[in-house]
């Protein structure tokens, strides 16, 4: 389905009432960590025990390593990430100066290509997960605050439609689980509200770190729906919608999830 068709579907389903867009009242919005057991919440909050910190530490080394034909490091331009990257992850995905929607991974790869003359990192590669986790870590505790104004609005509309679209052999949409049934039990798990504020995150079922897109693909697999390639425009649109939907929730990267 085209982006225009998705946006039209969103407009029809929303009934033009943008002010009533949120299916979950603002005072009931909860991070995924609220649905974890105390053991995993404690693990996430323990900087020394959180397994995702291994990727953060590797990302810090990558930040300082010269790369590409220009032999430039991230630090060459951005200096100390603790100050220069503070708040950056909270604002992504966002539309860049070229009117292209980028998530944090896309922004990192654009910097590698434009400023380092380096090859882009592959999605789910150890390097991409590490540098993304490191950059996002600098915004830990800050509220998510993406913009859906201007050129971003078409992407937001398409992402909202994708979120509501029934798909797969089970004929389910994201909203069926994360709006209508959050807090209920699904086998041994409690259904969360589906917010992305902890990604990239370490998931016990994976025994490794993974990006938000890996999680989206796992959801699609679970409802027997087609999985698109990493970096597909539909994923980016959906990421923007999910980030907006989580407005105000604090960044938790690296999160720990079951």
- Which residues are known catalytic residues? 219
- 3-class DSSP state for residue 250? strand
Axis-axis angle for helices 126-137, 104-111 (nearest 10): 110
Query: What CA–CA distance (Å, rounded) separates 18 from 219?
Result: 26
The strand pairing partners of 250, in sequence order, are 143
Sequential DSSP letters for 119-186? PPPPTT-HHHHHHHHHHHHTTBTSBP----STTHHHHHHHHHHHHH--BTTTTB-HHHHHTTSTTSEE
Reported as type and span, the H/E element at residue 255 is: strand 255-257
DSSP secondary structure code for residue 116 in this structure = I
């Amino acid at each position: 389905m085209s982006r225009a068709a998705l946006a039209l579907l969103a407009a029809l389903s929303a009934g033009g009432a943008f002010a009533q867009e949120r299916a979950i009242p603002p005072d009931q919005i909860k991070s995924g960590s609220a649905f974890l057991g105390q053991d995993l919440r404690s693990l996430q909050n323990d900087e020394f025990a959180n397994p995702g910190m291994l990727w953060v530490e590797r990302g810090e080394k990558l930040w300082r390593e010269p790369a590409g034909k220009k032999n430039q490091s991230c630090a060459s331009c951005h200096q100390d990430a603790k100050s220069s990257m503070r708040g950056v992850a909270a604002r992504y995905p966002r539309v860049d100066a070229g009117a292209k929607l980028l998530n944090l991974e896309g922004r990192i790869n654009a910097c590698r290509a434009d400023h380092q003359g380096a090859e882009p990192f592959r999605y789910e590669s150890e390097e991409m997960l590490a540098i993304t986790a490191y950059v996002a870590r600098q915004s830990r505790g800050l509220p998510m605050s993406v913009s859906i104004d201007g050129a971003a609005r078409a992407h937001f509309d398409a992402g909202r439609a994708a979120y509501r679209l029934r798909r797969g052999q089970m004929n389910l949409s994201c909203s069926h689980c994360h709006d209508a049934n959050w807090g209920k039990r699904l086998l041994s798990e409690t259904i969360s509200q589906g917010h992305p504020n902890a990604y990239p995150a370490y998931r016990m079922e994976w025994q490794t770190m993974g990006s938000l897109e890996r999680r989206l693909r796992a959801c699609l697999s679970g409802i027997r729906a087609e999985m698109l390639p990493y970096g597909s425009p539909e994923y980016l649109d959906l990421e923007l919608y999910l980030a907006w939907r989580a407005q105000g929730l604090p960044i938790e990267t690296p999160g720990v999830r079951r």
